[in-house]
Structure 1
Protein backbone atom coordinates (compact mmCIF):
# COMPACT_ATOMS: atom_id res chain seq x y z
CA UNK A 1 0.00 0.00 0.00
CA UNK A 2 1.30 3.42 -0.88
CA UNK A 3 0.01 6.30 1.27
CA UNK A 4 -1.44 9.07 -0.87
CA UNK A 5 -0.52 12.26 0.95
CA UNK A 6 -1.78 14.40 -1.93
CA UNK A 7 -5.39 13.47 -1.28
CA UNK A 8 -7.92 15.91 -2.70
CA UNK A 9 -11.67 15.44 -2.43
CA UNK A 10 -13.77 17.45 -4.90
CA UNK A 11 -16.29 19.84 -3.38
CA UNK A 12 -19.70 18.25 -2.96
CA UNK A 13 -22.75 18.74 -0.81
CA UNK A 14 -22.66 15.38 0.95
CA UNK A 15 -20.53 13.87 3.69
CA UNK A 16 -19.54 10.46 2.39
CA UNK A 17 -19.30 7.40 4.64
CA UNK A 18 -17.95 4.18 3.13
CA UNK A 19 -18.46 0.51 4.02
CA UNK A 20 -16.69 -2.26 2.07
CA UNK A 21 -17.32 -5.94 2.65
CA UNK A 22 -19.31 -9.02 1.78
CA UNK A 23 -21.34 -10.87 4.41
CA UNK A 24 -23.03 -7.72 5.66
CA UNK A 25 -24.14 -9.28 8.95
CA UNK A 26 -20.66 -10.45 9.95
CA UNK A 27 -19.11 -7.14 8.92
CA UNK A 28 -21.52 -5.24 11.18
CA UNK A 29 -23.53 -3.39 8.54
CA UNK A 30 -26.83 -3.67 10.49
CA UNK A 31 -25.17 -1.87 13.42
CA UNK A 32 -23.99 0.88 11.08
CA UNK A 33 -27.50 1.24 9.61
CA UNK A 34 -28.95 1.49 13.12
CA UNK A 35 -26.40 4.21 13.95
CA UNK A 36 -27.36 6.31 10.93
CA UNK A 37 -30.45 8.08 12.38
CA UNK A 38 -28.31 9.48 15.23
CA UNK A 39 -25.61 10.53 12.77
CA UNK A 40 -28.16 12.29 10.55
CA UNK A 41 -29.41 14.41 13.45
CA UNK A 42 -25.98 16.06 13.62
CA UNK A 43 -24.82 15.57 10.02
CA UNK A 44 -27.96 15.69 7.86
CA UNK A 45 -26.02 15.52 4.57
CA UNK A 46 -24.34 12.20 5.47
CA UNK A 47 -24.53 9.47 2.82
CA UNK A 48 -23.48 5.85 3.32
CA UNK A 49 -21.98 4.05 0.31
CA UNK A 50 -21.94 0.25 0.56
CA UNK A 51 -19.60 -1.81 -1.63
CA UNK A 52 -19.99 -5.58 -1.63
CA UNK A 53 -22.39 -8.37 -2.49
CA UNK A 54 -24.55 -10.25 -0.01
CA UNK A 55 -27.47 -12.63 -0.64
CA UNK A 56 -29.28 -10.98 2.29
CA UNK A 57 -29.10 -7.46 0.87
CA UNK A 58 -32.90 -7.21 0.77
CA UNK A 59 -33.03 -7.66 4.54
CA UNK A 60 -30.57 -4.78 4.94
CA UNK A 61 -32.65 -2.64 2.58
CA UNK A 62 -35.75 -3.37 4.67
CA UNK A 63 -33.80 -2.35 7.78
CA UNK A 64 -32.92 0.93 6.05
CA UNK A 65 -36.62 1.53 5.41
CA UNK A 66 -37.55 0.71 9.02
CA UNK A 67 -34.88 3.12 10.26
CA UNK A 68 -36.08 5.69 7.68
CA UNK A 69 -32.57 6.14 6.25
CA UNK A 70 -33.07 4.62 2.79
CA UNK A 71 -32.52 8.00 1.11
CA UNK A 72 -29.09 8.21 2.73
CA UNK A 73 -27.81 4.76 1.69
CA UNK A 74 -26.43 3.67 -1.69
CA UNK A 75 -25.79 0.00 -2.50
CA UNK A 76 -23.06 -0.19 -5.16
CA UNK A 77 -22.70 -3.99 -5.33
CA UNK A 78 -19.42 -5.72 -6.01
CA UNK A 79 -16.90 -3.53 -7.82
CA UNK A 80 -13.46 -4.06 -9.40
CA UNK A 81 -10.64 -3.23 -7.01
CA UNK A 82 -9.65 -0.11 -8.95
CA UNK A 83 -13.18 1.28 -8.53
CA UNK A 84 -13.14 0.42 -4.83
CA UNK A 85 -9.93 2.44 -4.48
CA UNK A 86 -11.61 5.35 -6.26
CA UNK A 87 -14.42 5.27 -3.71
CA UNK A 88 -11.86 5.27 -0.89
CA UNK A 89 -10.36 8.40 -2.42
CA UNK A 90 -13.77 10.11 -2.31
CA UNK A 91 -14.75 9.03 1.22
CA UNK A 92 -14.75 11.21 4.33
CA UNK A 93 -14.74 8.23 6.70
CA UNK A 94 -14.52 4.43 6.47
CA UNK A 95 -16.63 2.42 8.92
CA UNK A 96 -16.75 -1.35 9.36
CA UNK A 97 -17.96 -2.43 12.84
CA UNK A 98 -17.37 -6.16 12.30
CA UNK A 99 -18.54 -8.93 14.60
CA UNK A 100 -15.63 -11.10 13.40
CA UNK A 101 -12.45 -9.76 11.80
CA UNK A 102 -9.15 -11.26 10.72
CA UNK A 103 -6.30 -8.97 9.77
CA UNK A 104 -8.52 -6.24 8.28
CA UNK A 105 -6.48 -5.24 5.21
CA UNK A 106 -9.39 -3.05 4.10
CA UNK A 107 -8.55 -0.67 6.98
CA UNK A 108 -5.01 -0.29 5.61
CA UNK A 109 -6.45 0.52 2.19
CA UNK A 110 -8.58 3.25 3.75
CA UNK A 111 -5.61 4.65 5.68
CA UNK A 112 -3.49 4.63 2.52
CA UNK A 113 -6.19 6.69 0.80
CA UNK A 114 -6.13 9.24 3.63
CA UNK A 115 -9.47 8.21 5.13
CA UNK A 116 -10.15 8.10 8.90
CA UNK A 117 -11.30 4.64 10.04
CA UNK A 118 -13.62 3.17 12.65
CA UNK A 119 -13.67 -0.56 13.43
CA UNK A 120 -14.65 -2.94 16.19
CA UNK A 121 -12.48 -3.57 19.23
CA UNK A 122 -11.84 -7.21 18.42
CA UNK A 123 -9.69 -9.56 16.37
CA UNK A 124 -7.17 -8.28 13.87
CA UNK A 125 -8.67 -4.79 13.86
CA UNK A 126 -6.96 -4.15 17.20
CA UNK A 127 -3.64 -5.04 15.58
CA UNK A 128 -4.08 -2.15 13.13
CA UNK A 129 -6.08 0.53 14.94
CA UNK A 130 -4.88 2.20 18.13
CA UNK A 131 -8.01 3.78 19.57
CA UNK A 132 -7.96 7.56 19.28
CA UNK A 133 -4.56 7.60 17.54
CA UNK A 134 -4.96 6.33 13.96
CA UNK A 135 -8.67 5.56 14.14
CA UNK A 136 -11.36 4.57 16.61
CA UNK A 137 -12.44 1.24 18.03
CA UNK A 138 -16.03 0.66 19.15
CA UNK A 139 -17.85 -2.17 20.87
CA UNK A 140 -19.57 -4.50 18.38
CA UNK A 141 -23.37 -4.20 18.19
CA UNK A 142 -23.41 -0.73 19.81
CA UNK A 143 -25.06 1.72 17.38
CA UNK A 144 -25.03 4.57 19.90
CA UNK A 145 -21.27 4.46 20.50
CA UNK A 146 -20.68 4.03 16.78
CA UNK A 147 -22.79 7.10 15.95
CA UNK A 148 -20.94 9.17 18.56
CA UNK A 149 -17.54 8.21 17.14
CA UNK A 150 -18.63 8.85 13.54
CA UNK A 151 -19.87 12.33 14.47
CA UNK A 152 -16.74 13.03 16.52
CA UNK A 153 -14.52 12.33 13.51
CA UNK A 154 -16.67 14.12 10.94
CA UNK A 155 -17.22 17.24 13.05
CA UNK A 156 -13.64 17.71 14.25
CA UNK A 157 -11.26 18.73 11.46
CA UNK A 158 -8.08 18.74 13.56
CA UNK A 159 -8.86 15.28 14.95
CA UNK A 160 -9.57 14.01 11.44
CA UNK A 161 -6.22 15.35 10.20
CA UNK A 162 -4.42 13.69 13.12
CA UNK A 163 -6.10 10.33 12.39
CA UNK A 164 -5.18 10.61 8.71
CA UNK A 165 -1.54 11.47 9.47
CA UNK A 166 -1.21 8.57 11.92
CA UNK A 167 -2.96 6.30 9.43
CA UNK A 168 -0.27 7.07 6.86
CA UNK A 169 2.39 6.11 9.42
CA UNK A 170 0.58 2.84 10.08
CA UNK A 171 0.51 1.99 6.37
CA UNK A 172 4.23 2.71 6.03
CA UNK A 173 4.94 0.19 8.80
CA UNK A 174 3.06 -2.57 7.04
CA UNK A 175 5.12 -3.67 4.08
CA UNK A 176 3.97 -6.84 2.35
CA UNK A 177 6.52 -8.87 4.31
CA UNK A 178 5.40 -7.37 7.60
CA UNK A 179 1.77 -8.04 6.72
CA UNK A 180 2.53 -11.70 6.06
CA UNK A 181 4.50 -12.01 9.31
CA UNK A 182 1.80 -10.24 11.31
CA UNK A 183 -0.94 -12.40 9.81
CA UNK A 184 0.96 -15.63 10.49
CA UNK A 185 1.74 -14.53 14.06
CA UNK A 186 -1.89 -13.56 14.63
CA UNK A 187 -3.23 -16.95 13.55
CA UNK A 188 -0.50 -18.79 15.47
CA UNK A 189 -1.64 -16.92 18.57
CA UNK A 190 -5.24 -17.98 17.94
CA UNK A 191 -4.21 -21.60 17.37
CA UNK A 192 -2.12 -21.61 20.56
CA UNK A 193 -5.13 -20.39 22.51
CA UNK A 194 -7.34 -22.99 20.84
CA UNK A 195 -4.91 -25.81 21.64
CA UNK A 196 -4.60 -24.63 25.24
CA UNK A 197 -8.38 -24.76 25.63
CA UNK A 198 -8.48 -28.25 24.13
CA UNK A 199 -5.55 -29.43 26.24
Structure 2
Protein backbone atom coordinates (compact mmCIF):
# COMPACT_ATOMS: atom_id res chain seq x y z
CA UNK A 1 0.00 0.00 0.00
CA UNK A 2 1.37 3.39 -1.03
CA UNK A 3 1.95 5.77 1.89
CA UNK A 4 1.84 9.48 1.11
CA UNK A 5 2.82 12.21 3.57
CA UNK A 6 1.35 15.71 3.37
CA UNK A 7 3.43 18.08 5.54
CA UNK A 8 2.24 21.61 6.20
CA UNK A 9 5.14 24.05 6.03
CA UNK A 10 3.11 27.08 7.09
CA UNK A 11 2.49 27.84 10.73
CA UNK A 12 -0.90 29.43 11.27
CA UNK A 13 -4.50 28.84 12.23
CA UNK A 14 -5.39 26.61 9.28
CA UNK A 15 -3.68 23.50 10.62
CA UNK A 16 -4.75 23.70 14.24
CA UNK A 17 -7.03 21.17 15.85
CA UNK A 18 -10.63 22.01 15.17
CA UNK A 19 -9.82 24.23 12.19
CA UNK A 20 -12.38 23.92 9.44
CA UNK A 21 -11.66 22.52 6.00
CA UNK A 22 -7.99 21.69 6.43
CA UNK A 23 -6.69 21.10 2.91
CA UNK A 24 -4.19 18.49 3.99
CA UNK A 25 -6.77 16.36 5.80
CA UNK A 26 -9.25 16.64 2.94
CA UNK A 27 -6.64 15.42 0.47
CA UNK A 28 -5.55 12.67 2.88
CA UNK A 29 -9.11 11.36 3.11
CA UNK A 30 -9.31 11.31 -0.67
CA UNK A 31 -6.05 9.34 -0.95
CA UNK A 32 -7.34 6.84 1.62
CA UNK A 33 -10.63 6.40 -0.23
CA UNK A 34 -8.61 5.47 -3.33
CA UNK A 35 -6.65 2.78 -1.51
CA UNK A 36 -3.54 4.63 -0.33
CA UNK A 37 -2.48 5.46 3.21
CA UNK A 38 -1.99 9.12 4.13
CA UNK A 39 -0.04 10.82 6.90
CA UNK A 40 -0.55 14.54 7.54
CA UNK A 41 2.11 16.48 9.45
CA UNK A 42 1.25 19.74 11.19
CA UNK A 43 3.79 21.87 13.06
CA UNK A 44 3.26 22.16 16.80
CA UNK A 45 5.49 25.00 18.08
CA UNK A 46 6.46 24.49 21.70
CA UNK A 47 5.52 20.81 21.78
CA UNK A 48 8.09 18.32 23.01
CA UNK A 49 6.53 15.18 21.55
CA UNK A 50 4.38 14.08 18.65
CA UNK A 51 0.62 13.87 19.17
CA UNK A 52 -1.54 11.72 16.93
CA UNK A 53 -5.09 11.90 15.56
CA UNK A 54 -6.84 9.39 13.29
CA UNK A 55 -9.73 11.27 11.62
CA UNK A 56 -10.46 8.42 9.21
CA UNK A 57 -9.36 4.91 8.32
CA UNK A 58 -5.89 4.92 6.74
CA UNK A 59 -5.46 8.59 7.68
CA UNK A 60 -3.11 9.68 10.45
CA UNK A 61 -2.46 13.27 11.58
CA UNK A 62 0.78 14.02 13.43
CA UNK A 63 1.32 17.23 15.38
CA UNK A 64 5.09 17.46 15.43
CA UNK A 65 7.50 19.63 17.44
CA UNK A 66 8.60 22.56 15.32
CA UNK A 67 10.18 25.98 15.37
CA UNK A 68 8.85 28.99 13.51
CA UNK A 69 10.19 32.02 11.68
CA UNK A 70 7.32 34.29 10.79
CA UNK A 71 4.77 32.03 9.12
CA UNK A 72 7.42 29.46 8.18
CA UNK A 73 7.49 26.18 10.09
CA UNK A 74 10.67 24.15 10.60
CA UNK A 75 10.14 20.63 11.93
CA UNK A 76 12.69 19.57 14.51
CA UNK A 77 13.01 16.24 12.71
CA UNK A 78 11.73 14.54 9.57
CA UNK A 79 12.12 11.16 11.29
CA UNK A 80 8.31 10.61 11.24
CA UNK A 81 8.57 10.17 7.46
CA UNK A 82 10.83 7.17 8.06
CA UNK A 83 8.84 5.86 11.01
CA UNK A 84 5.67 5.88 8.89
CA UNK A 85 7.50 4.27 5.94
CA UNK A 86 6.46 7.09 3.64
CA UNK A 87 6.83 6.48 -0.10
CA UNK A 88 6.09 10.00 -1.34
CA UNK A 89 5.57 13.50 -0.01
CA UNK A 90 2.89 15.79 -1.42
CA UNK A 91 4.26 19.27 -0.72
CA UNK A 92 2.18 22.45 -0.73
CA UNK A 93 5.32 24.43 -0.02
CA UNK A 94 4.93 27.51 -2.23
CA UNK A 95 7.76 29.87 -1.16
CA UNK A 96 8.30 28.29 2.28
CA UNK A 97 11.83 28.47 3.66
CA UNK A 98 11.54 24.84 4.78
CA UNK A 99 11.22 23.36 1.28
CA UNK A 100 14.98 22.85 0.62
CA UNK A 101 15.53 20.98 3.88
CA UNK A 102 12.59 18.67 3.24
CA UNK A 103 13.77 18.04 -0.31
CA UNK A 104 17.30 17.13 0.85
CA UNK A 105 15.88 14.71 3.42
CA UNK A 106 13.67 13.05 0.82
CA UNK A 107 16.57 12.66 -1.62
CA UNK A 108 18.77 11.17 1.08
CA UNK A 109 16.11 8.60 1.97
CA UNK A 110 14.66 7.83 -1.48
CA UNK A 111 11.29 9.41 -0.74
CA UNK A 112 9.53 10.69 -3.86
CA UNK A 113 9.00 14.49 -3.76
CA UNK A 114 6.36 16.39 -5.71
CA UNK A 115 4.52 19.68 -5.23
CA UNK A 116 1.15 21.38 -5.52
CA UNK A 117 1.63 25.15 -5.45
CA UNK A 118 -0.86 27.92 -4.76
CA UNK A 119 1.45 30.96 -4.80
CA UNK A 120 5.06 31.82 -5.50
CA UNK A 121 5.41 35.50 -4.67
CA UNK A 122 5.35 36.52 -1.02
CA UNK A 123 1.98 37.76 0.25
CA UNK A 124 3.53 39.81 3.07
CA UNK A 125 2.32 43.40 3.49
CA UNK A 126 5.90 44.41 4.38
CA UNK A 127 7.86 45.33 1.21
CA UNK A 128 11.20 44.39 2.78
CA UNK A 129 9.89 40.97 3.83
CA UNK A 130 8.47 40.45 0.34
CA UNK A 131 11.83 41.17 -1.26
CA UNK A 132 13.68 38.79 1.05
CA UNK A 133 11.12 36.00 0.65
CA UNK A 134 11.09 36.34 -3.13
CA UNK A 135 14.89 36.11 -3.08
CA UNK A 136 14.80 32.92 -0.99
CA UNK A 137 12.14 31.49 -3.29
CA UNK A 138 14.81 31.02 -5.95
CA UNK A 139 16.03 27.98 -3.99
CA UNK A 140 12.54 26.50 -4.15
CA UNK A 141 12.26 27.19 -7.87
CA UNK A 142 15.44 25.18 -8.47
CA UNK A 143 13.80 22.23 -6.70
CA UNK A 144 10.49 22.65 -8.50
CA UNK A 145 12.34 22.57 -11.85
CA UNK A 146 13.60 19.04 -11.21
CA UNK A 147 10.57 17.49 -9.51
CA UNK A 148 6.94 17.04 -10.60
CA UNK A 149 5.24 20.35 -9.85
CA UNK A 150 1.51 21.03 -10.11
CA UNK A 151 -0.29 24.36 -9.84
CA UNK A 152 -3.48 24.94 -7.87
CA UNK A 153 -4.73 27.45 -10.46
CA UNK A 154 -4.09 28.24 -14.10
CA UNK A 155 -2.64 31.60 -13.04
CA UNK A 156 0.06 29.81 -11.01
CA UNK A 157 0.64 27.39 -13.90
CA UNK A 158 1.29 30.37 -16.18
CA UNK A 159 3.62 31.89 -13.57
CA UNK A 160 5.58 28.64 -13.30
CA UNK A 161 6.06 28.48 -17.05
CA UNK A 162 7.21 32.11 -17.08
CA UNK A 163 9.80 31.19 -14.43
CA UNK A 164 10.95 28.23 -16.52
CA UNK A 165 9.48 25.68 -14.13
CA UNK A 166 7.81 22.84 -16.07
CA UNK A 167 4.24 22.54 -14.81
CA UNK A 168 2.85 19.00 -14.60
CA UNK A 169 -0.70 20.35 -14.78
CA UNK A 170 -3.36 22.15 -12.80
CA UNK A 171 -4.26 20.27 -9.62
CA UNK A 172 -6.90 22.42 -7.90
CA UNK A 173 -7.82 22.56 -4.26
CA UNK A 174 -10.94 20.50 -3.60
CA UNK A 175 -13.84 20.27 -1.24
CA UNK A 176 -13.71 17.73 1.56
CA UNK A 177 -17.25 16.36 1.32
CA UNK A 178 -16.81 14.43 4.57
CA UNK A 179 -17.23 17.67 6.54
CA UNK A 180 -20.17 19.06 4.56
CA UNK A 181 -23.57 18.04 5.98
CA UNK A 182 -26.29 16.72 3.71
CA UNK A 183 -29.18 19.20 3.63
CA UNK A 184 -32.37 17.85 2.10
CA UNK A 185 -34.90 20.37 3.45
CA UNK A 186 -36.89 22.24 0.80
CA UNK A 187 -35.75 25.86 0.52
CA UNK A 188 -39.02 27.20 1.96
CA UNK A 189 -38.70 25.04 5.08
CA UNK A 190 -35.04 25.93 5.41
CA UNK A 191 -35.82 29.64 5.24
CA UNK A 192 -38.50 29.29 7.89
CA UNK A 193 -35.99 27.56 10.16
CA UNK A 194 -33.43 30.33 9.58
CA UNK A 195 -35.97 33.12 10.04
CA UNK A 196 -35.73 34.29 6.43
CA UNK A 197 -38.49 35.66 4.21
CA UNK A 198 -39.75 32.82 2.02
CA UNK A 199 -40.65 35.19 -0.83
CA UNK A 200 -37.58 37.41 -0.90
CA UNK A 201 -34.47 37.00 -3.04
CA UNK A 202 -31.28 36.59 -1.00
CA UNK A 203 -27.75 37.65 -1.81
CA UNK A 204 -25.09 35.88 0.27
CA UNK A 205 -21.58 37.05 1.17
CA UNK A 206 -19.33 34.78 3.26
CA UNK A 207 -15.84 35.89 4.22
CA UNK A 208 -13.65 38.24 6.20
CA UNK A 209 -14.91 41.81 6.38
CA UNK A 210 -11.45 43.13 5.57
CA UNK A 211 -10.31 45.40 2.71
CA UNK A 212 -8.95 42.65 0.45
CA UNK A 213 -12.39 40.98 0.35
CA UNK A 214 -14.06 44.31 -0.61
CA UNK A 215 -17.17 43.74 1.54
CA UNK A 216 -18.34 47.37 1.26
CA UNK A 217 -19.35 46.59 -2.31
CA UNK A 218 -22.15 44.40 -0.95
CA UNK A 219 -23.96 47.61 0.00
CA UNK A 220 -23.52 49.11 -3.47
CA UNK A 221 -24.74 45.93 -5.16
CA UNK A 222 -27.73 45.60 -2.84
CA UNK A 223 -28.66 49.25 -3.44
CA UNK A 224 -28.79 48.54 -7.19
CA UNK A 225 -31.17 45.61 -6.73
CA UNK A 226 -34.98 45.76 -6.40
CA UNK A 227 -36.45 46.00 -2.90
CA UNK A 228 -37.37 42.31 -3.07
CA UNK A 229 -33.67 41.57 -2.54
CA UNK A 230 -32.04 41.16 0.86
CA UNK A 231 -28.46 40.38 1.82
CA UNK A 232 -26.95 37.98 4.32
CA UNK A 233 -23.34 38.75 5.30
CA UNK A 234 -21.54 36.05 7.30
CA UNK A 235 -18.19 37.17 8.63
CA UNK A 236 -16.38 39.68 10.77
CA UNK A 237 -13.40 41.96 10.37
CA UNK A 238 -12.06 45.50 10.34
CA UNK A 239 -14.74 46.84 7.96
CA UNK A 240 -17.77 45.52 9.85
CA UNK A 241 -18.64 48.97 11.19
CA UNK A 242 -18.05 50.67 7.85
CA UNK A 243 -20.32 48.16 6.12
CA UNK A 244 -23.11 48.84 8.62
CA UNK A 245 -22.67 52.58 8.03
CA UNK A 246 -22.79 52.10 4.25
CA UNK A 247 -26.00 50.11 4.54
CA UNK A 248 -27.50 52.79 6.80
CA UNK A 249 -26.46 55.61 4.47
CA UNK A 250 -28.12 53.85 1.53
CA UNK A 251 -31.34 53.19 3.44
CA UNK A 252 -30.70 49.45 3.42
CA UNK A 253 -30.69 48.87 7.17
CA UNK A 254 -33.84 46.72 6.95
CA UNK A 255 -32.67 44.72 3.96
CA UNK A 256 -29.59 43.01 5.33
CA UNK A 257 -28.36 40.92 8.21
CA UNK A 258 -24.81 40.45 9.44
CA UNK A 259 -23.92 37.23 11.24
CA UNK A 260 -20.40 37.63 12.65
CA UNK A 261 -19.73 33.95 13.22
CA UNK A 262 -21.50 30.63 12.75
CA UNK A 263 -20.59 26.96 13.11
CA UNK A 264 -19.64 25.79 9.65
CA UNK A 265 -22.51 23.30 9.48
CA UNK A 266 -24.91 26.21 9.87
CA UNK A 267 -23.15 28.23 7.17
CA UNK A 268 -23.99 25.38 4.80
CA UNK A 269 -27.69 25.94 5.49
CA UNK A 270 -27.39 29.53 4.24
CA UNK A 271 -25.73 28.36 1.03
CA UNK A 272 -28.83 26.24 0.39
CA UNK A 273 -31.29 28.94 1.48
CA UNK A 274 -29.92 31.85 -0.59
CA UNK A 275 -30.25 32.55 -4.30
CA UNK A 276 -26.92 34.07 -5.30
CA UNK A 277 -23.43 34.05 -3.80
CA UNK A 278 -21.37 37.24 -4.25
CA UNK A 279 -17.56 37.21 -4.40
CA UNK A 280 -16.17 40.76 -4.52
CA UNK A 281 -12.44 40.04 -4.17
CA UNK A 282 -10.69 40.85 -7.45
CA UNK A 283 -7.50 39.10 -6.27
CA UNK A 284 -9.09 35.87 -5.07
CA UNK A 285 -6.41 33.20 -5.33
CA UNK A 286 -8.93 30.40 -5.01
CA UNK A 287 -12.08 30.76 -2.91
CA UNK A 288 -13.23 27.89 -0.67
CA UNK A 289 -16.53 29.58 0.17
CA UNK A 290 -17.12 29.90 -3.58
CA UNK A 291 -16.71 26.13 -3.94
CA UNK A 292 -19.05 25.46 -1.03
CA UNK A 293 -21.71 27.81 -2.38
CA UNK A 294 -21.66 26.20 -5.82
CA UNK A 295 -21.67 22.70 -4.31
CA UNK A 296 -24.93 23.67 -2.56
CA UNK A 297 -26.42 25.16 -5.73
CA UNK A 298 -26.07 28.82 -4.73
CA UNK A 299 -25.23 30.46 -8.06
CA UNK A 300 -22.05 32.58 -7.94
CA UNK A 301 -21.47 36.08 -9.24
CA UNK A 302 -17.80 36.97 -8.90
CA UNK A 303 -15.29 39.54 -10.00
CA UNK A 304 -12.71 38.08 -12.34
CA UNK A 305 -9.70 36.79 -10.39
CA UNK A 306 -7.47 33.69 -10.64
CA UNK A 307 -9.74 31.50 -8.49
CA UNK A 308 -13.17 32.41 -9.86
CA UNK A 309 -11.83 32.47 -13.43
CA UNK A 310 -10.85 28.82 -13.07
CA UNK A 311 -13.87 27.64 -11.08
CA UNK A 312 -16.82 29.43 -12.69
CA UNK A 313 -17.87 28.81 -16.29
CA UNK A 314 -19.10 32.29 -17.18
CA UNK A 315 -22.73 32.20 -18.25
CA UNK A 316 -23.06 28.49 -17.47
CA UNK A 317 -22.37 27.83 -13.77
CA UNK A 318 -22.35 31.49 -12.71
CA UNK A 319 -21.27 34.91 -13.89
CA UNK A 320 -17.86 36.62 -13.96
CA UNK A 321 -17.53 40.40 -14.04
CA UNK A 322 -14.42 42.32 -15.08
CA UNK A 323 -13.33 44.60 -12.22
CA UNK A 324 -13.33 48.31 -12.88
CA UNK A 325 -15.01 51.62 -12.19
CA UNK A 326 -18.77 51.25 -11.84
CA UNK A 327 -18.65 47.48 -11.83
CA UNK A 328 -21.02 47.17 -8.86
CA UNK A 329 -23.88 48.02 -11.23
CA UNK A 330 -22.67 45.24 -13.53
CA UNK A 331 -22.46 42.87 -10.57
CA UNK A 332 -26.04 43.74 -9.61
CA UNK A 333 -27.23 43.06 -13.15
CA UNK A 334 -25.46 39.69 -13.09
CA UNK A 335 -27.06 38.88 -9.73
CA UNK A 336 -30.53 39.41 -11.21
CA UNK A 337 -29.69 37.27 -14.24
CA UNK A 338 -28.34 34.49 -12.00
CA UNK A 339 -31.53 34.42 -9.94
CA UNK A 340 -33.60 34.14 -13.12
CA UNK A 341 -31.64 31.13 -14.45
CA UNK A 342 -32.56 28.08 -12.33
CA UNK A 343 -30.52 25.76 -14.56
CA UNK A 344 -27.38 27.53 -13.32
CA UNK A 345 -27.84 26.05 -9.85
CA UNK A 346 -27.59 22.52 -11.26
CA UNK A 347 -24.66 23.55 -13.46
CA UNK A 348 -22.84 24.98 -10.44
CA UNK A 349 -23.34 21.74 -8.50
CA UNK A 350 -22.14 19.66 -11.43
CA UNK A 351 -19.08 21.85 -11.94
CA UNK A 352 -17.83 21.29 -8.39
CA UNK A 353 -18.62 17.59 -8.30
CA UNK A 354 -16.81 16.93 -11.57
CA UNK A 355 -13.75 19.16 -11.12
CA UNK A 356 -13.26 20.42 -7.58
CA UNK A 357 -13.50 17.57 -5.08
CA UNK A 358 -10.31 16.35 -3.44
CA UNK A 359 -10.91 12.94 -4.99
CA UNK A 360 -10.30 14.41 -8.44
CA UNK A 361 -6.90 15.79 -7.44
CA UNK A 362 -5.98 12.61 -5.55
CA UNK A 363 -6.70 10.50 -8.64
CA UNK A 364 -4.37 12.67 -10.72
CA UNK A 365 -1.59 12.49 -8.14
CA UNK A 366 -1.88 8.71 -7.75
CA UNK A 367 -1.78 8.22 -11.51
CA UNK A 368 1.42 10.29 -11.64
CA UNK A 369 2.97 8.30 -8.78
CA UNK A 370 2.22 5.02 -10.52
CA UNK A 371 3.88 6.32 -13.68
CA UNK A 372 6.88 7.97 -12.01
CA UNK A 373 7.45 5.21 -9.48
CA UNK A 374 6.58 6.64 -6.09
CA UNK A 375 7.61 3.51 -4.21
CA UNK A 376 10.62 3.76 -1.91
CA UNK A 377 12.20 0.73 -3.56
CA UNK A 378 11.31 1.96 -7.09
Fold match by TM threshold 0.5: yes
Cα deviation for residue 17 of structure 1 reads 1.3
Q: What is the aligned length?
A: 175
* Aligned match of 1:27: 213
RMSD of equivalent CA atoms: 2.4
Aligned-residue offset at 1:52: 0.6
1:72 aligns with 2:255: yes
* Deviation for aligned residue 1:66: 1.6
- 1:122 deviation in Å? 1.2
- Counterpart of 1:169 (choices 350, 355, 371) is 350
Structure 2: distance between partners of 1:169 and 1:108: 11
Shift of 1:37: 1.7
> 2:229 pairs with 46, 51, 57, which one?
46
**8 A contact 1:32–1:146 mirrored in 2:** no
Deviation at 1:180, TM superposition (A): 7.6
- Distance in structure 2 (CA, Å) of the matches to 1:136 and 1:15: 17
Closer, same or farther: CA 13–162 of 1 in aligned 2, 3 Å: closer
Structure 1 partner of 2:239: 56
Which stretch shows the higher mean deviation, 31-40 or 6-15?
Answer: 6-15
Q: Which residue of 2 aligns with 1:151?
A: 336
Change (3 A) 1:83 1:102: same
Query: TM-score by structure 1 length?
Result: 0.79
Q: Which has the higher helix share?
A: 1
| Structure 2 gap ranges (5+) | 1-174, 190-197, 365-378
Structure 2 residue matching 1:78: 3-state secondary structure: coil
Structure 1 residues 179, 87: CA separation in 2 closer, same or farther (over 3 Å shift)?
A: farther
Deviates more, 1:84-93 or 1:138-147: 138-147
1:180 & 1:54 partners in 2: Cα distance? 34
Higher strand share: 2
Structure 1, gaps ≥5 residues long? 183-199
Secondary structure at the residue paired with 1:39? coil
Match of 1:36 in 2: 222
TM-score, normalised via structure 2 length: 0.43
Q: Which residue of 2 aligns with 1:81?
A: 264
